[in-house]
C-alpha cells in the first residue's frame, strides 16, 4: 500500500483550523486587536506553507485569501466588519471540506486518481464541505473511526508483546539456573582434581575446568544482556502503550469551538445577538464519547438560540441585555463527565409543548396536569416543535430526540431545569470510558503504595507539625487560610487507626462541597495519566473513580476529590474539634511568583516543608499587588512570564522605597551568562537555573537572606 502523503498534513491542518476558528470568533466577540490579527495571520501563513508542501494549491489559495482579508487590520484597532468575519469563516469551511477529501491515491475508488492535486470541480468540493458540516451533528468523520481501529490494533499488539516478555523473563531465570549448574560442575571438577585418578589426567581436568569457567562467563554475560534488553523493551512498550491510549483522547476545546460556531451561525440566521461562553476545554476524553455527544450538544445550542433566546426588542422590554447568553461548562463529577448547557432566554414554553404534543397524538387531551419533567421527556422523544415556521434552524420537530439517542448510546442521563422567563439549563451526565488529566502522585502510607488525585483539585501542599493538627483520630482538622478544614489520611478512610502525634505532608484538595486536607507520606510528583474506570464487579470505594498504570505497569488508583472531601467532612462530624480560633505558628513569609502551576506547587511545598509561610502569584502584576499589601522576607520570581517578566518585576520593587530591601531570587530556564548578568544588574540576590534545581541548595541559599 502506498504511503499516505497527507498523514502529517491532515492533523496539522485540522489543528490550525480549530485555532483559527476560535481566534476569529474571539475577534467577533471581543473586538479587534493588532496582536490577535497578527496571530491569525501567522496561522494562515503556516497553513498556506503546509498546503503548498503537499501540493494542495486550492487550500493554499484559500489561506492566502484569508491573509488578504486580515491584512488591512494588521496594525489598527478597528473592529473587523461582520461581513469580513463571514467571509473568513466561509473560507475555513471550504478548507475543512477539502481536508476531508484528502486520501492516499490507492484509497480512491479508481485507484489511479492523483491525490496530490486539489479537486478540479469546485462545486463538488463545496458540496463535500457542506455535507461534512451537516454530518457533524450525527457522527464523527469517517477518518476518526478508521484511526480508532488502527489505534486499537496497536494497543492489542502492545499487550500481546508485553505478555511475551513474561516468557522472556522466564528464559532469563532459566539461564541463571544454568549458570548455577555450571558453578556446581566446576566445583565437582575441582574436587576430582585432588584425587589420584585426576592427577593422572591433569591435562584433561584442566581443560574441563577452563571450559566450565568459560561457560559461566558466557551464561553470565547472556543473562545480563538479556535482562537489560527486556528492561528496555518493557520501558519502550509502556511508553508506546501510554501514547497509543493518549491518541484515543481529544481535547474538549475543539468541541467548544464548534459549539461557539454553531451558536454564532444560528444567531445570524435568526437575526439575534448571542454571546457564547465556555469553560473546561482542557479536559480530554475518549474520541468516541466526544463524537457521540457532539451532535447532542449542537442540537441543544441550536434549540437555545432558536427557541430560548428572545429577539433584541423582546429582551430589552424584559430588562435583559440585548445579547443573549449561551454557555457550556464541562466538568468532572466523580467517574462521570458533566456537560452543562444553559441560556438566559425565555425558557421552554411548556404550555406550547403540551398543546403540540396533544395535537400530534403524543399526549392525551386530558394530560393537562403533567409535571414539567414529563413534558421534557415528551420533547426528548422527538416530533415536537413549537416553532411557528420551518427554517434552517428549527421547525421540523427533529431536535431533542438527538440528545436522547446520544445519551442512550453512551449510557448517560440528562436533567433539564426550566426557569420561565429567565432561561433553561440542560445537564448531560455521561460515564467517561477513558480520560486524560494532570495528576498529583503521592505515597499514601509507609508501604509505598502510590495513589493519584486530579491536579486541578489541589489547592496547596503543606507540611504539618504536631502543633498544626487539632483534635485526634477521625476528628482532626487543620487551619487553612484562617479556616478549619477536616484532616484525614487515606488509611483512615477505611477505619484504619493512624498516628495523630506526628508530622504530616498534607494535600489541601477542593471538592464540590468544600475543602479537605489529606495526609500523605511523600510526594512523588506530577504526571499526565490515562484514567480508566474500574470494573463494576470490584465494588470499589466511592472515593475511587478509576485507575491508571504507573511506570512499572502497576495499577494506580485515582481518587475523587468530591469523595475525599465528603469522607473527611463526615469523619470530622464524628468527633472533630475545630481549631478556627487557634493562632497559626509564626513563620517567615515568602512569595513565589511563577506562571506554571507545577513550579509554584513544587517551590511552595519545599519552602513550607522547611517552615516558611508561602504565598504564590501567577504573574508579576498579581505579585506587585501582594507585596504592597503584605511584608515578605523573600521573593522567588520566574523570569519568563506573560506581562511583567521577572527582570522588570525586580526593577519595580528596587525602585520602590518600601520594597527596596526585600531579597529576591530569580528562577529561570535561561542559563546564558548575559541573563545571569542582567539578573545581577536589576538587583537579584541569586539566580537559579531550573534544569540545575537542587532543593538543598535552594534552602541553603535563602536561609541567610530571610534571617
> Is 294 in the same domain as 164?
no
CATH of the domain at 472: 2.30.30.40
Least confident of 40-49, 363-372, 429-438: 363-372
Task: Read off the CATH number of the domain in which 96 is found.
Answer: 1.20.120.160
Counting every residue written for the chain, the total comes to 707
Domain boundary among 101, 135, 169: 135
Q: Is residue 271 assigned to a domain?
A: no
Of 133, 223, 123, 130, which Cα lies nearest the Cα of 169?
223
In a domain, 701, yes or no: yes
3-class SS at 521?
Answer: coil
Query: Lowest mean pLDDT: which of 140-149, 272-281, 523-532?
Result: 140-149
Note whether residue 303 is domain-resident: yes
Q: Which of 409, 431, 453 is the last residue of a domain?
A: 431
Out of 102-116, 185-199, 237-251, 331-345, pick the least confident.
102-116
Residue 274 lies in a domain: no
Residue 532 DSSP class: B
Joined grid coordinates for residue 567: 469522607
Model confidence band, residue 584 (pLDDT cutoffs 50, 70, 90): very low
pLDDT band of residue 120 (cuts 50, 70, 90) is very low
Contact assessment for residue 630 and residue 659, using Cβ atoms and an 8 Å cutoff: no
Indicate if 427 and 445 belong to the same structural domain: no
Tell me if residue 80 falls in helix, strand or coil: coil
pLDDT given at position 125:
34
pLDDT-based confidence at residue 343 (cuts at 50, 70, 90) = very high
Is residue 500 within 8 Å of residue 484, measured between CB atoms?
Answer: no
DSSP 99: H
- Taking a C-beta distance cutoff of 8 angstroms, is the pair 281, 256 a contact? yes
Pair 383, 285 in one domain:
yes
Instruction: Give exposure, 211-238, as e/b (b: 16+ Cβ within 10 Å).
Output: ebeebbeebeeebeebbeebeeebeebb
Residue 219 lies in a domain: yes
Tell me the longest C-alpha to C-alpha distance in the chain: 120
Structural domain contains residue 311: yes
Q: Write down the pLDDT at residue 394.
A: 46
Tell me which of 182 and 110 has the higher pLDDT: 182
126/165 same-domain check: no
Same domain, 304 and 387: yes
Q: What is the pLDDT of residue 328?
A: 94
Section 26-40 average pLDDT: 76
Bridge partners of residue 688, in order along the sequence: 667
Position 286 in a domain: yes
Q: How far apart are CA 429 and CA 268, in angstroms?
A: 30
Asked if residue 578 is part of any domain, the answer here is no
With residue 76 as reference, give the H or E element that holds it: none
Inter-residue contact 421 to 525 (CB < 8 Å): no
Q: Which of 216-230, 576-590, 654-668 has the lowest mean pLDDT?
A: 576-590
Domain check: are 221 and 308 in the same one?
no
| Domain CATH code at residue 355 | 3.30.565.10
| Residue 197: predicted pLDDT | 52
Cα–Cα distance for residue pair 594/637, rounded to 1 Å: 6
In the predicted model, what is the mean pLDDT of the chain?
75
CA 570, distance to chain mean position in Å, is 30
Residues 569 and 451 in one domain: yes
**Residue 301's closest CA among 290, 293, 313?**
293
Region 28-34 average pLDDT: 72
To the nearest whole percent, how much of the chain has pLDDT over 70? 68
Q: How far does CA 533 lie from the centroid of its chain?
A: 17
Same domain, 285 and 427: yes
Cell of 532: 480508566
- CATH number for 603: 3.40.50.2300
DSSP 659: T
Q: What's the confidence (pLDDT) of residue 500?
A: 65
Q: Look up cell 591435562; give the residue.
A: 203
| pLDDT tops 80 at residue 131 | no
Q: Which residues contact 485 (CB under 8 A, 6 or more apart)?
A: 477, 478, 508, 514, 515, 516, 517, 568
Q: How confident is the model at residue 707, as a pLDDT?
A: 60
Kindly indicate the confidence band of residue 276, based on its pLDDT and cuts at 50, 70 and 90: very high
**Alpha-carbon span 580 to 477, nearest angstrom:** 9
**Per-residue pLDDT at 132:** 34
User: Which of 550, 455, 470 minimizes the C-alpha distance to 239?
Assistant: 550
The answer to whether residues 519 and 612 belong to one domain is no
The pLDDT score that the predictor gives to residue 60 is 86
Mean pLDDT of 574-584: 39
**Segment of 174-188, 381-395, 648-662 carrying the highest mean pLDDT:** 648-662
**Rg over CA atoms, the chain:** 32
Phi/psi at 423 (5° precision): 140, 180
Please indicate, yes or no, whether residues 685 and 568 belong to a single structural domain of this protein. no
The C-alpha cell of 654 is what? 528596587
β-pair type (514-520, 483-488): parallel
| CB count in 10 Å sphere of residue 75 | 9
Which domain-ending residue is among 135, 164, 193?
A: 135
Domain that holds residue 690: 589-706
Are 114 and 237 in the same domain?
Answer: no
The total number of structural domains that make up the chain: 5
Task: Let me know whether 426 and 314 are in one domain.
Answer: yes
Asked whether 293 and 428 are in contact (CB, 8 A), the reply is yes
Amino acid at each position: 500500500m502506498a504511503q499516505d502523503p497527507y498523514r502529517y498534513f491532515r492533523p496539522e491542518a485540522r489543528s490550525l483550523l480549530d485555532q483559527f476558528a476560535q481566534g476569529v470568533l474571539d475577534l467577533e466577540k471581543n473586538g479587534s486587536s493588532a496582536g490577535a490579527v497578527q496571530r491569525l495571520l501567522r496561522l494562515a501563513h503556516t497553513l498556506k506553507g503546509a498546503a503548498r508542501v503537499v501540493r494542495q494549491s486550492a487550500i493554499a489559495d484559500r489561506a492566502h485569501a484569508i491573509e488578504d482579508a486580515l491584512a488591512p487590520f494588521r496594525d489598527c484597532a478597528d473592529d473587523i466588519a461582520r461581513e469580513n468575519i463571514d467571509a473568513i469563516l466561509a473560507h475555513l469551511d471550504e478548507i475543512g471540506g477539502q481536508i476531508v477529501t484528502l486520501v492516499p491515491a490507492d484509497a480512491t475508488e479508481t485507484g489511479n486518481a492523483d491525490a496530490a492535486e486539489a479537486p478540479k470541480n469546485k462545486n463538488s468540493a463545496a458540496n463535500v464541505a457542506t455535507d461534512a458540516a451537516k454530518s457533524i451533528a450525527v457522527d464523527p468523520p469517517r477518518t476518526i473511526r478508521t484511526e480508532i481501529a488502527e489505534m486499537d490494533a496497536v494497543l492489542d499488539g502492545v499487550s500481546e508483546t508485553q505478555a511475551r516478555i513474561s516468557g522472556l523473563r522466564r528464559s532469563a531465570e532459566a539461564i541463571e539456573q544454568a549458570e548455577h549448574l555450571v558453578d556446581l560442575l566446576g566445583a565437582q571438577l575441582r574436587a576430582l582434581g585432588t584425587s589420584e585418578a585426576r592427577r593422572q589426567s591433569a591435562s584433561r581436568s584442566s581443560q574441563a575446568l577452563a571450559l566450565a569457567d568459560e561457560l559461566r562467563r558466557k551464561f553470565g554475560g547472556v543473562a545480563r544482556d538479556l535482562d537489560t534488553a527486556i528492561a528496555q523493551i518493557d520501558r519502550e512498550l509502556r511508553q508506546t502503550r501510554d501514547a497509543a491510549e493518549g491518541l484515543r483522547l481529544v481535547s474538549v476545546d475543539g468541541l467548544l469551538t464548534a459549539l461557539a460556531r454553531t451558536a454564532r451561525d444560528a444567531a445570524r440566521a435568526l437575526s439575534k445577538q448571542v454571546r457564547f461562553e465556555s469553560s473546561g476545554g482542557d479536559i480530554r476524553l475518549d474520541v468516541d464519547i466526544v463524537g457521540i455527544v457532539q451532535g447532542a450538544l449542537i442540537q441543544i445550542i441550536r434549540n437555545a438560540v432558536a427557541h430560548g433566546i428572545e429577539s433584541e426588542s423582546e429582551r430589552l422590554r424584559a430588562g435583559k441585555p440585548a445579547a443573549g447568553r449561551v454557555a457550556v461548562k464541562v466538568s468532572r463529577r466523580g467517574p462521570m463527565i458533566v456537560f452543562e448547557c444553559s441560556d438566559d432566554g425565555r425558557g421552554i414554553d411548556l404550555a406550547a409543548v403540551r398543546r403540540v404534543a396533544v395535537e400530534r397524538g403524543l399526549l392525551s387531551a386530558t394530560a393537562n396536569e403533567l409535571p414539567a419533567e414529563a413534558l421534557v421527556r415528551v420533547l426528548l422523544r422527538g416530533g415536537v416543535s413549537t416553532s411557528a415556521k420551518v427554517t434552517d434552524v428549527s421547525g421540523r420537530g427533529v431536535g431533542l430526540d438527538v440528545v436522547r439517542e446520544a445519551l442512550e448510546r453512551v449510557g448517560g442521563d440528562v436533567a433539564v431545569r426550566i426557569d420561565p422567563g429567565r432561561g433553561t439549563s440542560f445537564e448531560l451526565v455521561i460515564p467517561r470510558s477513558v480520560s486524560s488529566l494532570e495528576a498529583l502522585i503521592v505515597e499514601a502510607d509507609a508501604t509505598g503504595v502510590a495513589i493519584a488525585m486530579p491536579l486541578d483539585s489541589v489547592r496547596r501542599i503543606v507540611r504539618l507539625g504536631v502543633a498544626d493538627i487539632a483534635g485526634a483520630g477521625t476528628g482532626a482538622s487543620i487551619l487553612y487560610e484562617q479556616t478549619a478544614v477536616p484532616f484525614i489520611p487515606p488509611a483512615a478512610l477505611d477505619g484504619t487507626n493512624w498516628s495523630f502525634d506526628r508530622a504530616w505532608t498534607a494535600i489541601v484538595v477542593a471538592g464540590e462541597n468544600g475543602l479537605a486536607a489529606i495526609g500523605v507520606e511523600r510526594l512523588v510528583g506530577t504526571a499526565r495519566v490515562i484514567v480508566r474506570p474500574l470494573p463494576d464487579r470490584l465494588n470499589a470505594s466511592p472515593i475511587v473513580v478509576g485507575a491508571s498504570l504507573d511506570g512499572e505497569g502497576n495499577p494506580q488508583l485515582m481518587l475523587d476529590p468530591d469523595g475525599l472531601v465528603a469522607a473527611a467532612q463526615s469523619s470530622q462530624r464524628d468527633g472533630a474539634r475545630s481549631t478556627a480560633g487557634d493562632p497559626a505558628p509564626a513563620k517567615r513569609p515568602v512569595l513565589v511568583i511563577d506562571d506554571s502551576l507545577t513550579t509554584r506547587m513544587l517551590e511552595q511545598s519545599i519552602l513550607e516543608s522547611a517552615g516558611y509561610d508561602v504565598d504564590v502569584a501567577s504573574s508579576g502584576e498579581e505579585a506587585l499587588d501582594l507585596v504592597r499589601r503584605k511584608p515578605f522576607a523573600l521573593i522567588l520570581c520566574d523570569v519568563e512570564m506573560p506581562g511583567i517578566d521577572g527582570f522588570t518585576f525586580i526593577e519595580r520593587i528596587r525602585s520602590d522605597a518600601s520594597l527596596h530591601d526585600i531579597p529576591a531570587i530569580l528562577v529561570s530556564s535561561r542559563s546564558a551568562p548575559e541573563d545571569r548578568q542582567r539578573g545581577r544588574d536589576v538587583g537579584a540576590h541569586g539566580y537559579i537555573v531550573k534544569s540545575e534545581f537542587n532543593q538543598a541548595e535552594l534552602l541553603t541559599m535563602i536561609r541567610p537572606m530571610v534571617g
